[in-house]
A and B are shown apart, each in its own frame.
Chain A
Amino acid sequence: MTKSADRTPKIDVRVTQIVDVTSEIKRFRFEPTDGKPLPVFAGGAHVVVEMEDGDTLRRNPYSLMSSPGATDAYNISVRRDPGGRGGSMFMHDRVTVGSLLRLSHPVNLFPIDRRARKHLLFAGGIGITPTLAMMSELARYGDAFELNYAVRSENDGAYLDQLRNTYGKRVSIYRDDQGEQIPLTTLLAAQPLGTHLYVCGPGGMMNWVLSTAEGLGWPAQNLHSERFLAPPSGSPYEVRLAASDLSIKVGPHQSMLEAIEAAGVDAPYLCRGGACGQCETRVVSFDGDLLHNDHYLTDDEHAGGQKVMPCVSRFEGRELVLDR
C-alpha cells in the first residue's frame, strides 16, 4: 500500500538474498514477484527503492550493480549510514530475505559514452556500485577500460577480490590505511586522446578528480560523474501548494518532495538526490530563505528564486508558495 499519489509504474520485488560484503555494506538481490523478466538497463543506472517504514514511505536511489544483461534479478549494495535519515538503516536492520519491496524502473543519469576510445573509471568507497555494472557492460563490448578504486582498507573495501580476479591489471586498488594514493596527475596526463572519465564517490574525491582533469585541459564533454545527495535535515516549515490548493507541513527530517507526496499530490521525480532536474518546481512567491541544496540549477537560478528542486532543498521563513 503506497501512501502517495505517485502513478509511475513500479516493480514489485522479493528480497531473495542478503550478503554481508563488509562490516558496513550489504548486498541485496531483488527478484520480481510476478516472475516476469525485469527491464534491461545500461551500466550506470539506478532504481529508487520504496520502503514502508511505519507511517513513513522512504524512497532511496541505489545504483544497480548487477550485469546489465541479467533480467532475472537486480543487485544493489547499501552502506549503513547511522547518521543518515534512516533509509540505509532500514535496509540493513529491517529488510530480511523474503521482504517485499517496490522499485521504480531503472533510470540512467550516469551512462557510458560509447564514442570513447577508452573509459577511465574512478570509484571511492560505495561509489563502486555503478562502476561494477559499467565494467560488466564494457567487458562485454570489448571496450578499453581501467578502474582506479580508492578504499579505506583491505577489509573495508567492497568487492576487491572479485575485481582483481575478474579484471586483473585493469583494476588498480588504493588502500588509504596503507598510504596508497591515486597518482591522479600522472595518470590523467598519460591518457590517449578520446578517453572519457567517470567518477563516483565521496564529494571531496569527485571534486578532486574533476578539477584536476579540468586543470589539465580535459574538455567537459569527456567528464562524467554521479552524486546523489541525501536530503538534508533542518527546521520544520510550511509550504502552500497553489495548484492543489493545499497547505502542507515539512518535518525536520522530511524532504519537501516527501511532504508533497505524503499529502497525496503526484509530483514528478527521478533521482531524489538533486542531480537530474526532474522535480523542478516553479516558486510562485516566498518570504524567507530558499535553501537550495541541489547541483542541478545554476547559481543564477539559485539566486533568482524562481525555481526549486524539492527533493533536496528546504525553506526557512514565513511563507513559501509553489506552483504544484
Chain B
Amino acid sequence: MLVEGIKSRPIYSPLVARTGTLHLFMADGEGAQAILDLATTASPGFFERAHICYIPRAAAGRGFESALQALNPAAFYVGPTVAAALPRLAVELANAHMGTQIYLAGTEGMIGQAMVVALAAGVDQASIQREHRGSEARRVQCVHCKGITEDVTTQPAKCAHCGLMLLVRDHYSRRIGAFQGVCVDAEMPGTAPDPEEAFR
C-alpha cells in the first residue's frame, strides 16, 4: 500500500470503463493487470475504440504483452521506456477530440509523467483515471540541481545528477510529476544516515 495521508499526492483508484468515443490506455509494468481487470467488465466492442500503450519494464516476460494484445485494441504499442512512449502520447492527444477517455495504470513515476503530458494537452486532471500498480518507487526531483532521479527506493537517496544525499519528502508536484528531494546533511556534510529501503 502507498503511504496514506499525503495531501499533495494524486488519488489513485481502480480503472473503470467509461462512456467515450476513444479510450487511451497507458500502462507500465504490473499496470497491465489493471487493464486486464477492467476488460472483464467492459462492454463488448469496448476495445475496438481503445489504444493501448504498454511499457513492460520490470514485468517483462510475464506474458502481459500477449494478454493485452488478445484484447484486440484498435492500436497496440509496446515501448522500451516511459520516456520513449511519452511523445507518442502527446501526439495522440493533440489529434484527439472531446469524448476521449484517458486511463493510466502502473508506477507512480509513469502516471505522473503521463499526467504532465495530458494536462499540457488541456485535459482536466479530474477527468483522467489513474490506478497505481506495482512498485512504490518514487520519482524524485532534487530541489538543488533540479535533476530527476527515477525509481528511488531508499531514504535518504543519492541524487543521480549532483550526488547530494536527499531526504525524499512526502511533497508531490503535479506540475513535474515527482516528489521533492532536499539535501539531508546540508549543515554538516558527510553526516547523512545510511540509505535504507523505504519505498518497495
Q: Give residues in A with beta carbon < 8 Å to B.
A: 115-117, 188-195, 213-222
Instruction: Confirm or deny: B101 has a beta carbon within 8 angstroms of a beta carbon on chain A.
Output: yes
Q: Tell me the B38-95 residues at the A interface (CB within 8 Å).
A: 93-94
Q: How far is the CB of A247 from chain B (nearest CB, A)?
A: 46
Q: How far is the CB of A178 from chain B (nearest CB, A)?
A: 28
Count chain A CB atoms within 10 A of each CB in B18, B93, B121, B124 and give the residue with the most: B124
Q: How far is the CA of A192 from the CA of B93 in the complex (A)?
A: 9
Q: How far is the CB of A91 from chain B (nearest CB, A)?
A: 38
Q: Is the CB of A217 within 8 A of B126?
A: no
Q: How far is the CA of A220 from the CA of B18 in the complex (A)?
A: 13
Q: How far is the CA of A221 from the CA of B124 in the complex (A)?
A: 7
Q: Give residues in B with beta carbon < 8 Å to A.
A: 18-21, 93-94, 96-101, 121-124, 126-127
Q: How far is the CA of A157 from the CA of B101 in the complex (A)?
A: 37
Q: Is the CB of A216 within 8 A of B21?
A: yes
Given A189-B21, A192-B96, A193-B97: 11 more A-B contacts, CB < 8 Å? A116-B122, A188-B99, A193-B96, A193-B121, A194-B123, A217-B101, A219-B124, A219-B127, A220-B127, A221-B124, A221-B127
Majority secondary structure, B binding face: loop
Determine the chain B residues whose CB is within 8 A of the CB of A216 once the complex forms. Answer: 19-21, 98-99
Going nearest first, the 10 A-B pairs with the smallest beta carbon separation are A194-B122, A217-B20, A219-B127, A117-B122, A221-B124, A217-B99, A191-B98, A216-B99, A193-B96, A217-B19
Q: How far is the CB of B174 from chain A (nearest CB, A)?
A: 13
Q: How far is the CA of A214 from the CA of B123 in the complex (A)?
A: 16
Q: Is the CB of B127 within 8 A of A192?
A: no
Q: Is the CB of B121 within 8 A of A194?
A: yes
Q: How far is the CA of A40 from the CA of B100 in the complex (A)?
A: 37
Determine the chain B residues whose CB is within 8 A of the CB of A220 once the complex forms. Answer: 127
Known: A188-B98, A193-B93, A193-B100. A219 touches B121 (CB 8 A): no
Question: Can you list 26 A-B contacts (CB < 8 A)?
Answer: A115-B124, A189-B21, A190-B97, A191-B98, A192-B96, A192-B98, A193-B97, A193-B98, A193-B121, A193-B122, A193-B123, A194-B121, A194-B122, A195-B122, A216-B20, A216-B21, A216-B98, A216-B99, A217-B18, A217-B19, A217-B20, A217-B21, A217-B99, A219-B124, A220-B127, A222-B98
Determine the chain B residues whose CB is within 8 A of the CB of A116 once the complex forms. Answer: 122
Measured CB to CB, the nearest residue on chain B to A188 is B98
Measured CB to CB, the nearest residue on chain A to B96 is A193
Q: Is the CB of B126 within 8 A of A221?
A: yes
Known: A189-B21, A193-B93. A217 touches B123 (CB 8 A): no
Task: Name A192's contact: one of B19, B20, B97, B126 (CB within 8 Å).
Answer: B97
Q: How far is the CB of A17 from chain B (nearest CB, A)?
A: 40
Q: How far is the CA of A177 from the CA of B19 in the complex (A)?
A: 34
Known: A216-B19, A216-B21. A195 touches B126 (CB 8 A): no
Determine the chain A residues whose CB is within 8 A of the CB of B127 once the complex forms. Answer: 219-222
Task: Name B122's contact: one of A115, A190, A218 (CB within 8 Å).
Answer: A115
Q: Is the CB of A189 within 8 A of B19?
A: no
Determine the chain B residues whose CB is within 8 A of the CB of A188 once the complex forms. Answer: 98-99
Determine the chain A residues whose CB is within 8 A of the CB of B123 once the complex forms. Answer: 193-194
Q: Is the CB of B97 within 8 A of A189?
A: yes
Determine the chain A residues whose CB is within 8 A of the CB of B126 once the complex forms. Answer: 219, 221
Q: How far is the CA of A115 from the CA of B94 in the complex (A)?
A: 16
Measured CB to CB, the nearest residue on chain A to B127 is A219
Known: A216-B21, A217-B18, A219-B127. A191 touches B122 (CB 8 A): no
Q: How far is the CA of A156 from the CA of B161 in the complex (A)?
A: 68
Q: How far is the CA of A192 from the CA of B20 in the complex (A)?
A: 14
Q: How far is the CA of A284 from the CA of B93 in the complex (A)?
A: 52
Q: How far is the CA of A193 from the CA of B94 in the complex (A)?
A: 7
